[in-house]
């Protein structure tokens, strides 16, 4: 399956637009990761543990997007956009949210 951020696929003809597909991945934070991220926030620098979580989440969201598009009979997903965010559970808890959205298409 072709998965792309562009709205066209070079050399391919879109036969049908099958609809918008979305995929969501939600991760809970953990105390140890939050502790080290807090230190990084204080002294500066990148937070590798969170970068790895977001990278993993983006890959999982794209994989889920492909699966949902396949169920519609799609050959490709075009115009993919990936967003990240947080969901506040309470004063101390935050969930990490990764969302992928695209258009499922059938190619000739």
pLDDT in tens, 52-96: 888 899 999 999 999 999 999 999 999 999 998 888 877 767 788
pLDDT of residue 92: 66
Average pLDDT over residues 35-52: 59
Name which residue leads in pLDDT, 90 or 14.
14
Least confident among 14-18, 43-47, 57-61, 86-90 = 43-47
The tally of domains found in the chain comes to 1
pLDDT of residue 85: 87
Is a pLDDT exceeding 60 seen at residue 39? no
Write out the residue range of the structural domain in which residue 69 sits: 2-107
Alpha carbons 69 and 19: distance in angstroms, whole number: 9
Q: What is the CATH number of the domain that holds 70?
A: 3.30.110.70
Q: What is the DSSP string of the chain?
A: -EE-SSSS-TT--EEEEEEEEEEEEEEE--HHHHHHHHHHHHH-S--HHHHHHHHHHHHHHHHHHHHHHHHTT-SEEEEEEEEEEEEE-SSS-EEEEEEEEEEEEEE-
């Amino acid at each position: 399956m072709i998965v792309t951020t562009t709205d066209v696929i070079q050399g391919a003809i879109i036969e049908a637009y099958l609809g918008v597909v979305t995929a969501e991945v939600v991760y809970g934070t953990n105390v140890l990761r939050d502790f080290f991220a807090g230190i990084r926030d204080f002294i500066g620098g990148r937070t590798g543990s969170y970068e790895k979580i977001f990278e993993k989440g983006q890959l999982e969201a794209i994989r889920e997007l492909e699966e949902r598009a396949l169920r519609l009979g799609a050959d490709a997903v075009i115009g993919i956009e990936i967003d990240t965010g947080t969901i506040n559970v309470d004063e101390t808890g935050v969930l990490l949210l990764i969302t992928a959205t695209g258009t499922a298409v059938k190619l000739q």
